[in-house]
Structure 1
């Protein structure tokens, strides 16, 4: 169990949260959870709490790491332990986001929680000795429940890993210092953007650093310096510098500037036009025979209004048949059925969106009230008591949203989501209906032609029979 540093600057908090939620490290986001906030909105909730109580400076959050031995625990158990630790140690008065990273041999849980209490606005204080007094005993109890190794806590707060109890005190002490120092080195690599900032973060944790051919560190309480490059090739200065580039949480910050796209290579292949099917030829021939392939001048369009409408209709029908490669009336009927099923599916999705929107209607009305009174509220905050009545009206919808476990920004985002989703579905439905209309027109025309052909055959047969009859 380790604390990942003395604090985050505000600009780093979002990057830190994004880092522990990284999809490639958390089984596609499955191993991510939150307390008092949705993980996707954790930063916004924490920031909102800080602004509410006027505590946006100094330490922004705390970051704990729970490390598990190689092969000692599966993903779900590690996630359950991390979640239980967060609930029992941090409680229900802080916004918390937690995750398990399973992309390395040693699974480890990450916990980030707001430094400001969301109920009373007080800042969390990590006192010296809390690790031995509260944190490690809780970790040990949880590990014992799951049959995992624990760490003994002595009177001075030093721990000895159970798997090494049979070692002599010198070796036990050396091991546990190494274990803790390795965790601190890892956490600083994650936070650092350069090798120099890595050294600064180590010093902030209380380490004294010797630099030369080999880097050595010493923590208060250690009897001598410890060389970290003796741990293996991953801990040389060169490799640490590389790991900072590979693992830095700065990599998860949104890009402010994007380089202009450049065409570096372009290749194209010429394709011969596909041969037209029978049904396609028929509609192409209609366009050709009526001279509509070459549009008439629109300077006298009023003279050709009906012709132009007919041309657009034929062009739409021909494009429809070509788009779906329809060869005969059977395939046309099949395509109609597919489009009709799609229409029904979109209508069901629209109904689902409408139900979701209806369920949040009270929250959306509260948001509208907040927006309506926002200017008055700003004046009241600046000291204008003239708007006291509006302020009281503003507090009610704000509390209503808060009591439902949301922030104003989250409700605004949810409303925008429903609006965009509904517009997208309406656009899809409009396109499907348009294609269904074209298919209906073609089917009707083909059926009419078929009926006329049958009638013509019947009349021709009757004419022949009459001709065969002897004249009187």
Structure 2
């Protein structure tokens, strides 16, 4: 039985080679072999130099330097020589035609295991090794199991399905429990496909939405505002580049392109909402108290939700709009209790803790009395009192949670509000300058 796993090496290639070829772990270097490499006895510097020369020859010295594959055998099931033979055959089967590989068998632990170190750059054509999600299941594990069966070793049976979902399963399932980066990008792609006439127009619309587009690589990728790049070929069915091109081609040419964002019937209506929103942000709520900040942020998210936002909202703002009810409750709490500073918030939290402690103490005494020998009428009366106390303490717990969330996220709320306020002022200044320029021309 052999267990396998693989991970990338991003730094210290020489240190990794030296660890793999450690003579104290490989019977003095006897259990070390090279595939497409010349390895002198116990000399870890030579294979390191050969790998580096391959990288320099093709101009790819950085990034992922190597891949480290480990193959572990069941205790007492295999000899060091057989384990090393299986490791060499595994390396030749998987990488022998294109990559330089160091194979070393470690016997310093109760379970014998192979270390297979793969140079990330091919000596044949200079292409870097690419490990898609399916490579492990379809290649590494299958070849390893086949070699174990060939030499009479046991193999691992199919594991029971995990109750935890993988990352793609979480973000590609339908429907989504709450907005995610992937679900928001899929909505944006749908809008762009509905408005585009070809792929050039599709990428141009994504750029207007605030996306960064990278098309000069082997796999096109897009990056929403505030996030890194996502490769289109990894998206679910219907959202890869080939599927997007097919959807655009199948779309009827006579069909009028849909609007990218918003519910405006014409440019005049959009301009009306833009001016109202911008002037509100630029002129109203200038005080920077905690209460005003949350009122301001609630208005911002409500505008995103109602599509009266003057520009295309970022994914983060759309995800925050899903939490609007919580922010509204927090804003109402701050306004009702007139909480303007962090000190006011801390004082209110202490008051809540005292009230909760007092009510819980009364409940504890009543529950203690229930355990005594009392009549049924008295028992029913005590239960009603306990229920009444629970009704009183429940909203206090909710308010305490809201206060804790305010303390945790007040910095993020303030930063988002400031950023949008500055952007609104800049838009208002540009609009005034444009109007002034038109008047001067007239």
Normalization by structure 2: what TM-score?
A: 0.34
Q: Which has the larger radius of gyration?
A: 1
User: Which of the pair is proportionally richer in helix?
Assistant: 1
Normalization by structure 1: what TM-score?
A: 0.32
